[in-house]
Chain A
Amino acid sequence: MAPARRHSPSRRDGPHESIDMTTSASRLSLVGVSKSFPGIRALDNVSFDVRPGEVHGLLGENGAGKSTMLNILSAVLQATQGKIFIDGQHVTPARPADARAAGIAMIHQELQHIPQLSVAQNLFLGRPLTTAGGMLVDRRAQERRAREILAGLDPRIDPRAPIHTLKVAQQQIVEIARALLDDAKVIAMDEPTSSLTPSEFESLAALIARLAAQGKSIIYVSHKMDEVFRVCDRATILRDGRFIDTVDLSQITEDQVIAKMVGRDILHERHVTHARPEVVMQVEDLSDSGLIRNASFALHKGEVLGLAGLVGSGRTELLRLIAGIDSAKSGRVILNGKPVDLRNPRSAIRAGIGLVPEERKKDGIVRERPVSSNIALPCMGRFSRFGLVRRRALHAEATSLMKKMGMRPPDVNRAIGTFSGGNQQKAIIGRWLAADVDILLFDEPTRGIDVGAKSEIYDLIAQLAQAGKSIIVVSSELPEIIRLSDRVMVMREGRISTILNADAISEDAIAANAIPKSQGPLAVAQSIEVLS
């Protein structure tokens, strides 16, 4: 990916300049912060500082300690050791309200508001502007003040609109407005773009730049390296709870940062094709009653077919049709020479099609149930005899599957909800291996998964293809699509616009076919930027 970086990355490999940690100009300083949980040292003597007007990335794999750090900053957790300084003053917030009062605001990944209340009501939740001697809420004053604040952020947001009518990106802006209302000096954002479209990310990036220009310090946590390079000035890298480095992002490459996070290079491993000539699945003229129009394509044995397109182009919808989750209006899917009954997921699974959904928590896992049960759901018949589950057989198979995939810890009796996103994803993939499906549909397989587990998922997909499974991968990350796919199918406004063969795959070719035709060359150029 070639992000429009604010600074051109330097290619030199030598050590970058070390940064003076004791600068008196720092807005926020953390000195020797440690946090222990029973049996785990989540943070171990971490020190870094954030300057006024700086956008500071906080990077690391899952378990590196980013969330713990944010929780300590927002006083959800208390540090076991260490000190926090704001503008040189030692602060010891005991509760989240103290942290807010000290000038630290958190924008959570899962936005926190009351859906039915208006934007203004949410902004003033818990500390309303009142009238009549504190007896009544002064709605008009709240709306006026909300409008003033929002004018500088996104004037299209109506303070009187119920917040659930807003798009996620706008809801996020309301959270930022709340931080400004608190007069926050430091605004920490946890994975702020996890549910934003590329154009919404653009607006957020511009907004963050404006806030920084006004002197606010931003702490930006994200898995997406290109975003971090785009948005942040410097970044602090954590690994296994330890401080690794604070780097100036204009002096370092993406690969070097990833290497610091995990210690190896994953996106540039070469792609090897396992595709064989025989066609396994033929999709013919598939349409639904909404977006999808006449989708037709063939999938070969052992092939990894990438499915690219803008958000809203119908990629997920097409996968759901093929998996029998949503009902098709016309068209058919032929698998191994036989038409597939697509009335419900169960019949599609029986025919040999399994979906690894994008939203793991919502569509993938039953969190309270053990990993083994989550794996066995599609094929209980295989694991039962005389109406009873053969627990030992199930346990043995689940354990061997999970060991093969490197699940940690390899305990299949534990509730799946207690595992990290990467391990949950492995369990969902294991589910389809146990069910022995021929076709695996992956919808954003590495979303919300840390860099290390990502490479494991890539390896798994390659192994599956080698074993003769046929695979469709939807991804919004072009480098990921290019790294994984034998061919790339591009969707545009519900239709398949092209299928690129191996020699024709490039970011430009994908982008050119993903952009709606009605727009001119300028829009194409912009969208290429957005896509990458």
Chain B
Amino acid sequence: MTDIPTSTPIRSGPRINLRDAGTFFGLVLIFAVFAVLTPVFLTAPNLINILQQSSINACIALGMTFVIISGGIDLSVGPTAAVSAIVGATLMIAGVPIPLAVMGAIATGMACGLFNGTLVAIAGLQPFIVTLGGLSLYRALALIFTGGNPIFGIPTEFRDAINGVVLGVPVPVIVVAVIAVILWVVLNRSPLGEYILAVGGNPEAARIAGVPVARTKITVYVLSGGLAAVAALILTGRLGAADPTMGNLWELDAIAAAAIGGASLMGGKGSVVGTLMGAVILGGLRNGLTLMNVQAFYQLLATGIIILVAMLIDRATRGRA
């Protein structure tokens, strides 16, 4: 076939930054609109508030981004978070030192991810179905273990740590920022990142090129499970309780943030910075509408519209794929 380079543009490496610039533009636009509509919106305390409110979704969405880039999906993040929170809370209440309890919670989330990843990568089941099964399974485990009741009595040291503020920035925001920096390096500067992008872009070519495909896939699910646990710990610390129904529909917010940030559900594409901005867009939207006393039903409507508009703009600017 004759190739006319200009007739079939394909996104190349550096252009991903262009996509991030687009997301940033969307973010600025939405914030500008709210700044005009409600004066309170664009004040430092409120902006920090937005970041804090977005931190849990951002944490989940970062893991989701990696799974999506690898060509998969993780619908089980909410229940994984719930199980992890229950394990963490139970350990804390049983008197286990807090750092150990935190590690126990994260290990629980990673174990859920390992289970998902093994079924996807080794047994060869479809990610959607595996994690849909996990969604029910982990929720059931959390409900059975607790009898459906929240676990109260989280130690104050832990609650204070999560609700703390360092140099004016809430701890959850710092935690998520640190995670994001590490994940950016992993995706853009590490062999694992290359493997994830290759496996998502073309799994068969990656295998033939010697990429450890199964190990790479399992790793992203373990990562997603671990980050779900981190999000669960943040929420547990803020609420002072671990609720077995925690994390309902988290997976949808996370997928939305990743998609707004430029992750392709076909795999092979996605951005850490984009996903963070996607989470802040969704958080800012909810915050702004709440400030304007818009009913919750309409907030849902606005969220849906933003997601679809973002995808339409994405499609139009990428050209025909």
Contact = CB atoms under 8 A, between A and B. Distances in A.
Interface of A: 37-40, 42, 60, 62-68, 77, 109, 190-191, 323, 325, 344-346, 349-350, 355, 357, 362-370, 373-374, 376-381, 383-384, 387-389, 391, 413-415, 417-421, 431, 435, 448
15 contacts: A42-B4, A60-B2, A191-B1, A349-B210, A366-B201, A368-B11, A368-B269, A369-B13, A369-B197, A373-B197, A378-B211, A383-B191, A387-B191, A421-B3, A448-B1
Given A345-B208, A362-B205, A413 B4 contact: no
Contacts of B191: 380-381, 383-384, 387, 389
A190 to B, nearest CB: 8
Contacts, number: 139
B38 interface: no
B4 A37 contact: yes
A39 B5 CA distance: 10
B10 A415 contact: yes
A520 B4 CA distance: 48
B261 to A, nearest CB: 16
B209 interface: yes
B78 interface: no
Contacts of B269: 368
Contact of A67 (B4, B5, B6, B212): B4
Given A62-B1, A325-B207, A413 B7 contact: no
A40 B5 contact: yes
A190 B11 CA distance: 26
B106 to A, nearest CB: 20
Residue with the greatest number of chain B CB neighbours at <10 A, chosen from A65, A350, A381, A418: A418
A350 B10 CA distance: 32
Given A37-B6, A363-B205, A389 B190 contact: yes
Sort A-B residue pairs by CB-CB distance and give the 8 closest, nearest first: A380-B191, A67-B2, A415-B12, A378-B210, A366-B201, A377-B209, A349-B210, A37-B6
Contacts of A381: 191
Nearest to B10: A417
Interface in B6-46: 6-14
Nearest to B1: A67
B210 A377 contact: yes
A431 B211 CA distance: 13
B274 interface: no
A336 to B, nearest CB: 18
Nearest to B185: A388
Nearest to B186: A387
B160 interface: no
Interface in B199-232: 201-202, 204-212
B14 A413 contact: yes
A355 B194 contact: no
Nearest to B192: A387
Nearest to A389: B189
A282 to B, nearest CB: 22
B10 A366 contact: no
A432 to B, nearest CB: 9
A440 B319 CA distance: 38
Contacts of B284: none
B82 to A, nearest CB: 32
A425 to B, nearest CB: 13
Given A190-B1, A366-B205, A387-B190, 10 more contacts: A38-B6, A325-B207, A346-B211, A368-B201, A368-B269, A369-B194, A373-B194, A374-B209, A377-B211, A415-B12
Nearest to B4: A42
B8 to A, nearest CB: 8
Given A364-B208, A365-B202, A365-B205, A40 B12 contact: no
A420 B3 contact: yes
A388 B1 CA distance: 38
A367 B2 contact: no
Nearest to B214: A344
B198 A373 contact: yes
A147 B279 CA distance: 57
B74 to A, nearest CB: 22
Contacts of A346: 210-212
Contacts of B5: 40, 418
A63 B3 contact: yes
B256 to A, nearest CB: 22
A345 B13 contact: no
B268 interface: yes
A349 B207 CA distance: 11
Interface string B166-204: 000000000000000000010001110111011001101
Contact of B208 (A109, A325, A380): A325
Contacts of B202: 362, 365-367
A415 B206 contact: no
A62 B206 contact: no
Contacts of B11: 368, 415
A64 B191 CA distance: 39
B209 A413 contact: no
Contacts of B10: 367-368, 415, 417-418
A438 to B, nearest CB: 15
Nearest to A422: B3
A52 B268 CA distance: 48
Contacts of B205: 357, 362-366
Contacts of A191: 1
Contacts of B185: 388
A345 B209 contact: yes
B3 A380 contact: no
A409 B170 CA distance: 49
Contacts of A388: 185, 189-190
Contacts of B8: 418
A345 B4 contact: no
Nearest to B13: A370
B265 to A, nearest CB: 14
A378 B209 contact: yes
A64 B3 CA distance: 9
Nearest to B3: A420
A223 to B, nearest CB: 9
B71 to A, nearest CB: 11
A356 to B, nearest CB: 10
Contacts of B189: 388-389, 391
Nearest to A431: B209
B194 A377 contact: yes
B204 A363 contact: yes
Contact of B195 (A64, A380, A415, A435): A380
B2 A62 contact: yes
B3 A377 contact: no
Contact of B201 (A60, A367, A376, A389): A367
A112 B170 CA distance: 56
A119 to B, nearest CB: 26
A373 B13 CA distance: 10
A180 to B, nearest CB: 25
A114 B207 CA distance: 29
A420 B7 CA distance: 13
A384 B195 CA distance: 13
Contacts of A62: 1-3
A385 B207 CA distance: 23
A388 B211 CA distance: 16
Contacts of A448: 1
B5 to A, nearest CB: 6
Contacts of B197: 366, 368-369, 373
